[in-house]
Every structure is written in structure tokens, then in C-alpha cells.
Amino acid sequence: MIDAGRLTKIIRSRWYIIVLAIVMPLISNLPKNISGGTAVTNPSSAQLLSYQNKADGYTFSYPASWDKREEAPQTSVFFLTSAHASEIPASLIVLKIKLDDPAMSLDAFSDGTLRQLKQDFPDLTVITTEKTQWAGQKGYRIVFNSTSPNKNLVKTVQVWTIHGKNVYIMGFGGSPESYEKYQTAGEKVMASFRFL
């Protein structure tokens, strides 16, 4: 039996990390053009590079124009999309979280996560939730809108699965405009995720 209080504490602390990483470009004073590069006219047809994290055991492809940040706190890797000077970039984050209870099921983690998101973000609007296949395994996918601490609207898609004794989570989001512009590219990145 999973202790509900412990599950809530685990999910709350970890989902704050994910949501804050997704909304970081919207709440910080980051320059609008993070990478110094130019925006891609068609982000979904951009040249792809391969990212591999041997320590955390996964790989995926991402557009060459995206700015990679491996030093982001408590994340495996963090990316910002390229953007024109007038745009706020979208962001993508990957997390590997060790389960305190290795017997925790995907359904228990997903149910607890959804409850916690709704509690912590009262304005949360869930667009879709679904069981899915991700990285060749059973996974869970959610798309939602929420408001950042400085009242910017944020659209986010997150997918997760349990692999071994860890939860792997990939999230992509940003302002509604940047989300829509880079959604196809973000979905391709998420679909390319594989375990080593």
C-alpha cells in the first residue's frame, strides 16, 4: 500500500520542478533570443541532432537550433527553442526521478500527479489525458493550460513512464504562441525518446 501523504509530497516537489522549468522562459528575465541564433522558418523540418545521456540511460533527437542546457537544477537536460527577438521561447525538459517505492504503478503515479496538479494550480485546464505508448512502454500523456506566477498563460504537454525504479518525464511548453509554433517539433522530439 502506498502512503498517500508520502506520494503527495513526492509528486508536489517534483511537479513544481517540471512546471517551473517549462514556464521558466515566461517568468524570468532571460533574453528573448537565448541562443543568439535565428528562428527556424519551419521548426518541424529543422536539422536534427542526437542527444544521449548515458548516465540516465536515454537518447532522443532535437532541432539543431534549440539551445541545450545541461546545468539546469535537478534536470537531466533542458532545451529552449530558438526565437525571434520579439518571441518568448518554448522549452523542453527531461527528468529522471528515482521512485521511493519501486512497486509504485504507472496508474498510481499518474493519478496522484493529476490530483496534485489540480490542487496546486487551481486555474489548471486539462485539455487531454491519456494512456499511451512512450519509449516502447506504457506511458501517460497530459496536455494542459495553466497560469505562471506572473500571470502568463502557459500551454504544456508532458509524457511519462516508469522504467526500472525510475520515472522518466519529458515536458514541452511555453506561451500559447510559442507552443503552437514549435508543437510539431516538440512532438517529434518526444516521439524520438528511447532508452539505451
pLDDT tens for 120-141 read 778 889 999 999 999 999 999 9
67 is written with which cell numbers?
539551445
Can you give the pLDDT at residue 25?
45
| Structural domain total, the chain | 1
Q: Report the CATH number at residue 12.
A: 3.40.1000.10
**Residue bearing the bigger pLDDT, 88 or 129:** 129
Can you give the pLDDT at residue 75?
60
- Residue 113: alpha-carbon gap to chain centroid: 14
**Residue bearing the bigger pLDDT, 27 or 161:** 161
Range of the domain at 28: 4-195
125 is written with which cell numbers?
485546464
Measured CA to CA, the distance from residue 110 to residue 107 in angstroms comes to 5
Measured CA to CA, the distance from residue 179 to residue 45 in angstroms comes to 16
Judge whether 193 and 160 are in contact, CB under 8 Å: no
Give strand pairing partners of 96.
168
- Residue 137: alpha-carbon gap to chain centroid: 18
Burial tier of 169 (Cβ tally within 10 Å: 0-12, 13-18, 19+) = buried
pLDDT at 35 over 90: no
pTM of the model: 0.78
Judge whether 161 and 28 are in contact, CB under 8 Å: no
Tell me: the pLDDT tens digits for 132-184?
999 999 999 999 998 877 788 889 999 999 999 999 999 998 889 889 999 99
Tell me: the pLDDT tens digits for 36-47?
333 333 444 568
123 is written with which cell numbers?
486555474
Can you give the pLDDT at residue 21?
45
Please list, in sequence order, all residues whose beta carbon lies within 8 angstroms of the beta carbon of residue 164, skipping any fewer than 6 positions away.
none
